[in-house]
Amino acid sequence: MRKKTKYRFEQMAGQGVVKLYIYDDVTAYGNFNWKTLEYDESETSANYFREQLAAIPETSTIELHVNSNGGSVKEGIAIYNLLKQHNAEKVCYVDGFAYSIASVICMACDKIVMGLGTSMLIHNMAMYVYGDAQTLRKCADDLDVLMESNRKIYMERAKNLTEEQLTEMMDNETFLTPQQCLEYGFCDEIAEYQADQNKLNQQAAEEIRHLRQELSAMKSFREEMKQFSPAKKKEPFPGNPEGTPGTEQGKEQKVLKMLSAFFDAFNKEE
C-alpha cells in the first residue's frame, strides 16, 4: 500500500515524541488498486489521522512535518480540528511546501517552524459544480460563507494583518516566504535546518515504486482480459437475411462488435 503519511513513536530526552508526515496531497481516498479493484486507504485522510491521534498520549509531543500542495478542504479542515482537539503539544515543521489546505492544517499547531527555502500558499477555495444558473449562484454564495470561516483560522494566528488584507491576499493567490509568514504570524520560527533529505529521497523512491506497481497491475489486468476477447467473425454474405439489421442474428453480431471493440483496448500494445 502506498505510504503517504509516516507515523512512528520516538523517545527523545525521556519524553515521547510522535512524528507525523503529510508528504502528499490531502485526500479521502488512496490510489486505485488494480489488484483489488478498490481504492487503497489514504494516509492523508481525516479518518487516518483520527485513528493515529487516538493512539497518541496527551503527554507526548506531536511533530507534524508538512510538504504538500494541499488537496481536499473537507479532509483538511477535519484534520485541523482533530489536531486542535488533541491536548498534546504540537509542533509543525514545514519541510517544503505548505500550500492551500496544507497551510490551514499547520495553523492547528502550537508552534510552526519553517525551514530554509520553504513557502506557504494561501488562496480561496474552489469547487467543481454542474447545474443551472440558480445552482451556480448558490454555490458561489456557499463558497463565500466557507471562505469567511476559513479566514478565521488564519486570523487566530495573524498579526500585523487585518482580515481585509488577508482577503485580498487570498483573492490574489499569494505565495509567502518564511520571513513573510513570520511577519504575519503564520510561523513562529525560521530554522536553518535542512529537511531530512533521506526522507525526501525515500518518498520519491516510494512514489516511483508505486507507479511501477500500478503499471504492472494494469498490464496483468489487460492480459487477463485478453482471454475474454471474442474472436472476430466474418461478415455475412450479401443477401443473407440472418445477418441483416433488425434480426436476432444481426443484433447478436452488433453486440459482439461492441464487446470486441471494448476488449481490443486491452490488446493494444503500449
Query: Closest Cα to residue 203, out of 92, 61, 44?
Result: 44
How many Å apart are CA 268 and CA 195, to the nearest integer?
A: 44
Confidence of residue 205 (pLDDT cuts 50, 70, 90): low
Largest separation between any pair of C-alpha atoms in the chain: 90
Tens digits of residue pLDDT in 218-263: 566 566 666 655 555 545 545 554 444 555 556 556 555 655 555 5
How many Å apart are CA 93 and CA 89, to the nearest integer?
A: 13
More confident residue, 11 or 123: 123
Mean pLDDT rounded to a whole number for the chain: 80
Query: Closest Cα to residue 109, out of 42, 71, 157?
Result: 157
How many Å apart are CA 111 and CA 136, to the nearest integer?
A: 39
> What is the per-residue pLDDT for 203?
56
> What is the per-residue pLDDT for 40?
85
State the cell numbers at 164.
Answer: 481585509
Confidence of residue 78 (pLDDT cuts 50, 70, 90): very high
H helix intervals, the chain: 46-54, 73-85, 101-106, 133-155, 163-171, 178-184, 197-226, 248-267
Cβ within 8 Å of residue 101, ≥6 positions away? 26, 70, 71, 72, 73, 75, 76, 77
Residue 1 per-residue DSSP state: -
Tens digits of residue pLDDT in 164-201: 999 999 999 999 999 999 999 999 999 976 555 565 55
Tens digits of residue pLDDT in 3-62: 444 444 443 444 589 999 999 999 998 888 888 888 888 889 999 999 999 999 999 999
Model confidence, pTM: 0.67
Please tell me the least confidently modeled range out of 70-74, 147-151, 162-166, 211-215: 211-215
Query: Closest Cα to residue 78, out of 40, 98, 51?
Result: 51
More confident residue, 26 or 146: 26
Question: Which domains occur in the chain, in start order?
Answer: 7-208 (3.90.226.10), 228-270 (no CATH)
> What is the per-residue pLDDT for 228?
59
Apex 70 CA angle, 41 and 103, nearest 5: 120
How many Å apart are CA 60 and CA 89, to the nearest integer?
A: 7
